[in-house]
Amino acid sequence: MAGFALLPRVSTFRIDRQQASGDLPARIAGVFVFGVGLINILSAITPHLPHRLLRLEPYLPLEITVGHLSAVLAGVALLALSRGLWHHKRAAYLLTLLLLVFSAVSHLAKGLDYQEAVIALAVLVWLLTEGSSFYARPDSPSIRQGVRVLIGAFVMTLAYGTMGFYLLDRHFSVNFGFSAALRQTIVMFTQFYNPGLEPITGFGRFFADSIYIVGAATFGFALLMLLRPVIIRTPATTGERNRAREIVEAHGDSSLAAMTLLPDKAYWFSGGGSVIAYTVSGGVAVTLGDPIGPAQDLPAAARGFAEFTAANGWRPVFYETDEAASPGYGDLGFSAVCIGNEAIVPVAQFALLGKSFKSMRNRINRLTEEGYVAEVLPAPQSARTLHLLRDVSDVWLAKVGGGEKRFSLGWFDDEYLRDCDVMVVQSQHGAIVAFANIVSEYQANEATIDLMRHRPEAPSGIMDFLFVRLFEWSRDSGYETFNMGLSPLAGLGEGPNQGLTEKALALVYEHGNSLYGFRGLHEYKDKFDPIWEPRYLVYPDVLTLPAALTAVVRINSGESPLRGYLGRAFGRPQSQGRPADA
C-alpha cells in the first residue's frame, strides 16, 4: 500500500474557479464549526467566573449544577458534524444549526459565558445564509436504523432508569416515587445532568453514570447513522448491465473496458450516451477508467458524475485514466497523479531477434524442444476445461498467498471465463501448466489479458513462453498491439519538473521491491521492449487524496491496506520477478 497507494501529484491541472468557490462555504463552515466545538469543550473544563454566577442565579429556576457534561458532548458532536459540513451534508447542516443554538443557550446558562455564546450565534447567522451549499443527502436506511436504535434505547433506558431509581433509592439521598424516578431518568438521558441527585454509595454512582453512558452512546450512534454517506446495497440491475454492455461494446477502447462489465460495478449514465463504472469505499466513489461513450461527452459525463457523487455525499475519483483525457478533467477543476505506465507491445514488429533477446530466445527454444505447446481455446469453455483451469488457479493462489483481486482485475469465475478465449500452455503430456484469458478492448485494435496463472512447478521461462505465443497469436489475428497491463509507479521521479513527493515515490519504487515487487514487475515487462503509456488517478482536491488512495487499494485488493502490508512484511509469500495478475 505504501507504494501503490501513497501516490503524490505528478501534474496538477488548472483549478476551476467556479468549483473552488462552490466548495469554499462548506470548507469554511467545517473549520468554523470545528472551532466552536473546541470552544465548547475548553469552556466546559475551565472554572466559571464567580461574579457572573452571582448575577445569573436570581434569574434561573434551578441551581446551576449542570452544563459541563452537556457542553462537552455538544462540543464533541460539533467536531463530528464539522466533517459532514466539509462534505456538504444536508443533515449535518441542520443538526449544526440546532446544536449552535443549544451551545449559545448552554454557555449563558452555565456561567453567563457571553463570549462563547456570541461566537456560536455568529457562526449560526452566517450558516443560515449559506444553506444552499449543503445538499448531500444522507443514507436513508441508515437514518431509519439510527432512529430505531434511538427509540429502542430510549424506551429501554427509561424502563431501566425508572425501575432502578424506584427500587434502589436507598443508594441515593432522595427517596424516589415512581413519577420522580421517571422524571429523573428522562432528564439524565436527554440532558446529561442530574438535578438534585446525590448518590451515597459506590453502586449509586455507577448506576447514575450508566444512564449517561447509554445516552451518550445512543446519541453518538444516531449521529453516525445520520451522517453516513449513501451506501450501495444492491448490485446493478439486469437492465443497467445490458445498457452498460451496449455502450462499452460501441465505445470501449481500453484494457479496462471488459473489466467495467464485471458484477462488482455500479453504473452511472450520462445524458450524452456515456457510462461510468464505479464502486464506493469509505465515502469515495472510484471509477474504473474514463467515462466510456462519445468522445465529446467526456467533460459533461465527468461533471455529471461529480454532481451525482456530491449529492450522495461521496467524493469522485477517476482511476487509471488515459493521458489524452487529462485536459478535460483539468477544465473541471480536478488534479491528477500518475500511478504508473501500461506496457504496450507493437506485435507486428515484435521478434526474438538480436542480442537483447538471446536469453529469452533460448528459453523459448528449450521449452519448445521439451514439447511445450500453446494454443487458444475459443469460447465458450467446456465444464471440463474450466475444471482444469481452476486447478491451476487454485494452486497459484495458494502459492502467492493471497486471495482474488477485484475491480480493475477479474477473478476466477466459471461464468466469466466460460465466455473468454483462453490461451493455455500444455506440457508434453498434455497437462495445462499455465493459462491466460483474453479479453476484448472492443473498438481498440489491441489484445490484452486478465487472469494469468501457472503451476508453481512449471519450468523456468514458462511465462515468457506464454507471452511470446500471445504476441504471435495477436499478430496473426490482425491486432496491432498487445497490452501487458499496468506497471505501478514505474517512471515516477524521473521528470525534471517533479517535486519532493514524486521523488519520495521513486524511493518507494526503488527500495520497496521486497514487499511489493514493483521494480521486478516493471523489469519483467520492460524486457519485451514495450511502449510505455502513463495512467493517472484523477481527484478533486489534495485533501481528498489520502482517502482516495486508501479506497483504490481497498477495492483492488479486497483487504485493508494495513492487513495487506503486514501480510507481506511478515512472510506472506509473493511471487517476485514474474508477472502476476497485472
In which band, very low, low, confident or very high, does the pLDDT at 167 lie, cut at 50, 70 and 90? confident
Give the tens place of pLDDT for each residue, 528-543: 999 999 888 899 888 8
The pLDDT, as a whole number, for residue 211 is 74
In CATH terms, is domain 342-530 a member of 3.40.630.30?
Answer: yes
In contact, 505 and 493? CB cutoff 8 Å: yes
Give the tens place of pLDDT for each residue, 200-235: 788 777 877 777 777 777 777 776 776 666 666 677
Question: What does the alpha-carbon distance between residue 68 and residue 47 come to, in Å, rounded to a whole number?
Answer: 10
In CATH terms, is domain 140-227 a member of 1.10.287.70?
Answer: yes
Question: What does the alpha-carbon distance between residue 329 and residue 340 come to, in Å, rounded to a whole number?
Answer: 18
SS3 339: strand
Smallest CA-to-CA distance from 220 within 269, 149, 293 is with: 149
CB atoms closer than 10 angstroms to residue 377: 18
- Residue 286 Cα distances to 294, 424, 446, 549, angstroms: 21, 33, 25, 10
In contact, 65 and 187? CB cutoff 8 Å: no
What cell was used for 181?
Answer: 424516578
The pLDDT, as a whole number, for residue 79 is 85
Type of residue numbered 388: L
Higher pLDDT, 168 or 232: 168
Highest-confidence segment of 223-227, 250-254, 405-409, 486-490? 250-254
SS3 318: strand
The pLDDT, as a whole number, for residue 575 is 35
Question: What does the alpha-carbon distance between residue 373 and residue 526 come to, in Å, rounded to a whole number?
Answer: 24
Higher pLDDT, 530 or 71: 530
Q: Tell whether the model's pLDDT for residue 265 goes beyond 60.
A: yes
In which band, very low, low, confident or very high, does the pLDDT at 435 lie, cut at 50, 70 and 90? very high
Of all residues in the chain, the percent with pLDDT exceeding 70 is: 74
Question: What does the alpha-carbon distance between residue 236 and residue 264 come to, in Å, rounded to a whole number?
Answer: 9
Give the tens place of pLDDT for each residue, 277-327: 999 988 899 999 999 999 899 999 999 999 898 888 888 999 999 988 877
Question: What does the alpha-carbon distance between residue 470 and residue 424 come to, in Å, rounded to a whole number?
Answer: 10
Match 481500453 to its residue by C-alpha cell. 254
CB neighbour burial string for 187-199, b if at least 16 within 10 angstroms, e if fewer? bbbeebbbeebeb
Query: Strand 284-288 to strand 315-322: parallel, antiparallel, or no bridges (unpaired)?
Result: parallel
The pTM of the full predicted model, rounded to 2 decimals, is 0.73
DSSP string, 97-127: HHHHHHHHHHHHHHH--HHHHHHHHHHHHHH
DSSP string, 524-570: HHHTT-PEEEEEEEEES-GGGHHHHHHHHHHHHHSS-HHHHHHHHHT
Q: Is 571 left (phi over 0), alpha (psi -120 to 50) or beta?
A: left
In which band, very low, low, confident or very high, does the pLDDT at 445 lie, cut at 50, 70 and 90? very high
Give the tens place of pLDDT for each residue, 548-579: 888 988 898 865 444 444 444 444 433 333 34
Question: What does the alpha-carbon distance between residue 42 and residue 74 come to, in Å, rounded to a whole number?
Answer: 12
In contact, 266 and 235? CB cutoff 8 Å: yes
Average pLDDT, the chain: 79
CB atoms closer than 10 angstroms to residue 492: 28
Give the tens place of pLDDT for each residue, 175-191: 777 887 787 777 776 66
Question: What does the alpha-carbon distance between residue 439 and residue 248 come to, in Å, rounded to a whole number?
Answer: 13
The pLDDT, as a whole number, for residue 137 is 72
Question: What does the alpha-carbon distance between residue 574 and residue 401 come to, in Å, rounded to a whole number?
Answer: 7
Give the tens place of pLDDT for each residue, 106-161: 777 665 676 778 888 899 998 998 888 887 776 666 667 667 776 777 777 778 77
Q: Tell whether the model's pLDDT for residue 18 goes beyond 50.
A: no
The backbone torsions φ and ψ at residue 336, rounded to the nearest 5 degrees and listed phi first, read -140, 150
The backbone torsions φ and ψ at residue 136, rounded to the nearest 5 degrees and listed phi first, read -70, 125
What cell was used for 5?
Answer: 497507494
CB neighbour burial string for 93-119, b if at least 16 within 10 angstroms, e if fewer? bebbeebbebbbebbbbbbbbeebbeb
